Amino acid sequence: MTKDFRKIIIVFISLFVLFAAAVTVSEIVNYNHILRTYPQSGQIAVPDTVQVTMPTQAAFNFQKSKVTTWLIRLFLSFAVPAFFIFSKLSIHIRNWAAGRARRWISIIILYFIVYSVIETLIYLPLDIYTGFFRMHQYGLSNQTFVQWLTDTIKNFIVNTVLTGAIIWVPFLIIKKSPKRWWLYIALISIPYLFIVSYIQPVVIDPIFNHYKPVEDSQLALKIEDLLHKTPIGDCQVYQVDKSKETNQMNAYMTGVFNTKRIVLWDTTINYLDTDEVLGVTAHEMGHYLMGHVWKSIVFGGLGSILILYLIYRLMGYILRKAKGRLGFGKVSDIAAFPLIILLINMMMFFTAPITNAYSRSMETEADRFELELTRNNFATATATVKLHQQSLTMPEPGSVYMLWTYDHPTFKSRVDFANNYRPWENGQPLKYQKFIKEGK
């Protein structure tokens, strides 16, 4: 390791410690703020208004654990690829793969499989704690360890197979166009994300869970009536058997064109009343009607142009400085894969506050549409309370943690919005009237 790289590592560790300190301080400040300002009881303060109350001690403890393990995982996202680089492990894997495969594409795929296995094993202790033991500790999981491990292995196989099948494509582009690869890869990411969005609901998701139409016939009819109030078209609504895994609630919009669907976890249907489920459904309808899936695909692809360009420049600078001492001198060398991952993780870290802010704005739009369609502020607010309290979510996190991890508005802000947003009561126009059919 050269002197320059040692300096970089020392600077990085120092900056990470400062960032971790900032996260910790903001969490302490927020903890004291919640203790001073949140009431102990009395969720409903006045008619038709929902009040967020003091979190339980379990929620406080869960938040501390989540912040700690997030910082550990964040550190590993930089440390693990750096380990592959500076230990020369990446070079050894490349040479091993080259000795067992003749074709260039086969070498890349074989390298990626070995890299993925080693990386997964490094993260496995943390994944076992956060995904299994901690979830049971706080009563959020229904899985046995065998079930959890089976799902983890399936997830690894699916991700490795899908990524391994195409991992050679960007390296081929880099090899053929060493000065413009960043642009071409960013542009092809848009159709790639579209294809993934199209096939995921019908090919990938059913590998992990069973999807079926909403079983409650009365609820299904009311959901159908809600859909008919909008021009959403042939959108299907399914329930998924998540109760075999978790006690948490969720719902999401997925797919494009004829694979678009709204998915309600069966826990959501079981734990919420009918009006609350309709509100959750309306929120997901808003995502589709406002084109959030499309916008995310296009903006993600366009944003990757800047990110990949910066990576291209940084890769060139690092390789020139290294002068071959890293064991590879070209970006197209598969041994450079950990360096690419390291730089991607760095870019994702720096852009996280921006992408999360954009995501939160879309969630607010969907909340607004939900209220304008259902005009049931109370059900929206109570559903929000139940969804978050069931998951031991803090009404407000520390500001730094929120900026870097929250792709949804805070629990408290969403309840406040549900309580206060009522333009129809004052004869004001609805922002999303064009999505709501007249007379419905």
Q: How far lies 162's CA from each of 201, 211, 300, in Å?
A: 15, 22, 20
End-to-end CA distance of the chain: 69
| Separation CA 395–CA 380 (nearest Å) | 16
Number of H helices, E strands in the chain: 16, 4
Catalytic residue among 276, 367, 370, 372: 367
CA distance 139 to 24: 25
Going residue by residue through the chain, which has 440 residues, state the pLDDT in tens, using 9 for 90 and above: 567 677 888 888 999 999 999 999 999 999 999 999 998 865 444 567 888 999 999 999 999 999 999 999 999 999 999 999 999 999 999 999 999 998 999 999 999 999 999 999 999 999 999 999 999 999 999 999 999 999 999 999 999 999 999 999 999 999 999 999 999 999 999 999 899 999 999 999 999 999 999 999 999 999 999 999 999 978 899 999 999 999 999 999 999 888 899 999 999 999 999 999 999 999 999 999 999 988 998 888 889 999 999 999 999 999 988 888 899 999 999 999 999 999 999 999 999 999 999 999 999 999 999 999 999 999 999 999 999 999 999 999 999 999 999 999 999 999 999 999 999 999 999 999 999 987 54
Half-sphere exposure of 165 (CA within 13 A, CB side): 6
pTM: 0.92
In DSSP terms, 238 is beta-bridged to: 213, 263
Interatomic CA distance for residues 76 and 70, integer angstroms: 10
284 is catalytic: yes
Q: Which two tokens stand for residue 12?
A: 């990085």
Annotation says 365 is catalytic: no
Determine contact, residues 317/63, Cβ cutoff 8 Å: no
Distance of CA 258 to the CA centre of its chain: 24
Instruction: Tell me if 410 sits within 8 A of 34, measured CB to CB.
Output: no
**For residue 71, what are the contacts with CB-CB under 8 A and spacing of at least 6?**
20, 23
Task: Name the helix (H) or strand (E) containing 226.
Answer: helix 217-228
Token pair 């320059």 in the structure block, residue: 4
Distance CA 98, CA 212 (A): 46
At residue 43, the pLDDT reads 47
Structure letter (DSSP) for residue 263: E
* CB count in 10 Å sphere of residue 293: 19
Residue 415, CA atoms < 13 Å, CB-side half-sphere? 22
Q: Return binding residues for Zn(2+).
A: 283, 287, 363
- φ/ψ of residue 211, rounded to 5: -110, 140
| pLDDT at position 44 | 47
Rounded CA separation 407/355 (Å): 8
Residues with Cβ within 8 Å of residue 385, at least 6 apart in sequence: 43, 50, 52, 411, 415
Q: From the annotation, which residues make up the binding site?
A: 283, 287, 363
Among 266, 284, 333, 416, the active-site one is: 284
| Tokens, residue 39 | 């009431």
CB atoms within 10 A of CB 217: 9
The Cα-based distances of 225 to 218, 228, 239, 253, 375 in angstroms read 11, 5, 17, 18, 15
In angstroms, the CA 114 to CA 91 distance is 12
Domain boundaries, the chain: 3-207+291-435
